[in-house]
Amino acid sequence: MKHGEFTSGTVVGAIGAAAAAYPDEPAIVDEAQTLSYAELWRESARIGERLRARGVTTGDIVALAAERSAALLVGLLGIIRAGAVVLPLDVTYPRARLRMMLDDSGAAMVVGHAHTVEPFVSDGRESCIIPRVFGGGDDLDGDTLTEPDPAYGCYLLYTSGSTGRPKAVLMPHAGIANLVRWQVGASACGVGSRTLQYGAISFDVALQEIFATMASGGTLVCIDDETRRNPVLTWNLMIREEINRIYLPYVGLQSLVMVADEVDLGAARLREIIPGGEQLQCTRALRDLMRRLPDCRLINHYGPVETHAVTCHPLGADPAQWPSLPPIGVPIPGNRAYVLDDDGREAPVGEIGELYIAGAQVSYGYWRQPDQTAERFLPAPDGHGERMYRTGDLARRRDDGTLDFLGRADDQVKVRGFRLELAEVEAELSDHPDVRACGVTVAGDEGIDRILVAFVVAGEGIDTEAVRDDLRARLPEHMVPAVLHVVDALPQVPSGKLDRRRLRVMAETGMTVVDSTSH
């Protein structure tokens, strides 16, 4: 298999072809071991056959709960090789939230380390334990496993829900294969290149970095959570491990940019930095960094969980020429973008409209939520029986077809690289016994300075820090408001609904990050 060649209809087939072509090349590196492609294929087959032997069948939901390691990646491949739909769980999330995802998805099996699956098997679920270090084992060789049908589901990812509950997106094999097929052909990083496994496993970008690397014969280098949280340690690891490519949200890129002056980049081997997940901002510090990495390209990706990455814009060689807010580019092959006005007609070039995506990467919709699926997944305007996804993002098309991203059209926001809907945070906050009413908004500019701000009408003597601690037990840290103000009443529009515009003004003018108990 030559670099850039991808003939399979699924990532399973593509990774199998890479394993056959490059059996001795390193596929995964973590602090405990290095696995070759032959070992990756064999060990993932063992997991897949164990799952099949225990009754897992095509289309079953199987959860993956493991710490960052080679075992996590082998488990991921093993689950989809069994024909199951993988539900990746971030084990750093609160247990109550993970249990809700398991219950909602109907997953009957959890794959992972003994200590990471133990909290979730008490409800009658079965577990499949992955060894931390591979080698030896049974004689299973994967002969009974076949490549999944491209129409089958590949993964289920939860995203913040507009009804106050997270909702899961079901992506078929054909959708993720289209993205990976394009990525393998478009990237300069192929056989023998090294990609940092930076993304959290429950973040769709992680699946892109994992599958695109495995399908091209490259090496995934694992990073532990402690190192990942420290940008200086991350830089040092990337230099030490000669990392060629990294995918990361803009806020993660900003954290690396802020400490780049503390690191000797002379030995850096980076060739591609691929931000996604939120609007890219080309700051002076980012331009300075890229000038210090003259052999590295900055490639802007865009795409919601419902379609994964669907547009691409490589920035030019001269950082001095980059705009502060670069475009998101044009759709990758197999996808189409529509910019529609309020009447559902194509907006003229240069005019702002809402962005809709159609084509190969439109997911099957929201798991067990037909009403919300029907609301967001609509017939494409040019017929042919295809569906398009209504992103809720505002965009503008240039004369050459390039798309500019202009922010959200609704109350969905991005904080620290994570997309969330304010209704979900408000639902959890309203559940607190001392909170009578609440409204949540954001303050600060897009990127690293953006925070969540909550306003609550509450009983006398409310302990706001205790309220935030209560939220931490039920929500990921990025969904816990950094600031909590107690007010007498929430602003309303004439219809009686919450006045979110006024709430945002209140947050911007009255916000004090150091004082989260301001009244």
Average pLDDT of the segment spanning 89-94: 91
pLDDT range class, residue 136, cuts 50, 70, 90: low
433 and 487 in a single domain? The answer is: yes
| Whether pLDDT at 420 is above 60 | yes
**Nearest Cα to 154, choosing from 227, 243, 58?**
58
Token pair of 219, please?
């090496």
pLDDT range class, residue 383, cuts 50, 70, 90: low
Query: Does residue 498 belong to any structural domain of this protein?
Result: yes
Query: Does residue 360 belong to any structural domain of this protein?
Result: yes
| Whether pLDDT at 496 is above 80 | no
Strand partners, 357: 337, 389
Q: Is 261 helix (H, G, I), strand (E, B) or coil?
A: helix
The model's pTM: 0.85
Query: Does residue 353 belong to any structural domain of this protein?
Result: yes
**Nearest Cα to 431, choosing from 461, 470, 466, 463?**
470
| Residue that finishes a domain, picked among 408, 442, 459 | 408
Average pLDDT of the segment spanning 201-219: 96
Percent of residues, the chain, with pLDDT higher than 90: 67
pLDDT digits (tens, 9 = 90+) for 263-296: 999 989 999 999 987 788 888 889 999 999 999 9
Domain of residue 468 covers: 415-510
Q: Which residue type, as a one-letter code, is found at position 389?
A: Y
| Residue that finishes a domain, picked among 346, 374, 408 | 408
Token pair of 64, please?
């993956």
Query: Does residue 450 belong to any structural domain of this protein?
Result: yes
370 and 457 in a single domain? The answer is: no
Query: Cα separation of 289 and 332, whole Å?
Result: 27
Average pLDDT of the segment spanning 479-483: 93
| Whether pLDDT at 518 is above 60 | no
Query: Does residue 329 belong to any structural domain of this protein?
Result: no
| Whether pLDDT at 428 is above 90 | no
| Whether pLDDT at 511 is above 50 | no
Query: Does residue 214 belong to any structural domain of this protein?
Result: no
Percent of residues, the chain, with pLDDT higher than 70: 92
Query: For the domain that residue 370 is a member of, what is the CATH number?
Result: 2.30.38.10
| Residue that finishes a domain, picked among 408, 438, 467 | 408
Average pLDDT of the segment spanning 480-486: 93
| Whether pLDDT at 135 is above 90 | no
Average pLDDT of the segment spanning 425-449: 82
Query: Does residue 38 belong to any structural domain of this protein?
Result: no
- The 3 state secondary structure assigned to 141-185 is CCCCCCCCCCCCEEEEEEECCCCCCCEEEEEEHHHHHHHHHHHHH
Number of domains within the chain: 2
Question: Which residue did the predictor score with more confidence, 384 or 68?
Answer: 68
Mean pLDDT value across the chain? 89
468 and 506 in a single domain? The answer is: yes
pLDDT score for 519 = 32
Q: Which residue type, as a one-letter code, is found at position 253?
A: L
